[in-house]
Amino acid sequence: MPDRRCRHIFAVLSDYLNAELPVKHCRDLERHLKSCEPCIAYLESLKNTVEACRRYRVQKIPAPSMKVREALWLALRGRSR
């Protein structure tokens, strides 16, 4: 179970990866990362997740059919009453 310091590290790792942390905070974080296996594992997991998201390509979603549009319109009209 991560301690309080680790929970803080977990909370700022995205900023760290985005180079949005002040230099002093980066040094403190890097010092902590040298000896904390849970934080190292979390950082690696976060890096992998970010990379997977960057590689993901959204496919073009086809326009809904007329039948679907009509059903949505009817559903929306029914809610507004």
Q: Identify the pLDDT of residue 68.
A: 94
Q: What is the pTM of this model?
A: 0.61
- The residue that leads in pLDDT, 37 or 81, is 37
Identify the three-state secondary structure at position 2.
Answer: coil
The alpha helices in 1-65, defined as continuous H runs, are 4-17, 23-33, 37-55
* pLDDT tens digits along 2-43: 688 899 899 999 999 999 999 999 999 999 999 999 999 999
Q: Identify the pLDDT of residue 61.
A: 84
Q: Identify the pLDDT of residue 57.
A: 79
14: which residues sit within 8 A by CB, 6+ positions away?
46
Domain ranges of the chain: 1-57
Tokens (6 digits) for 14? 């995205």
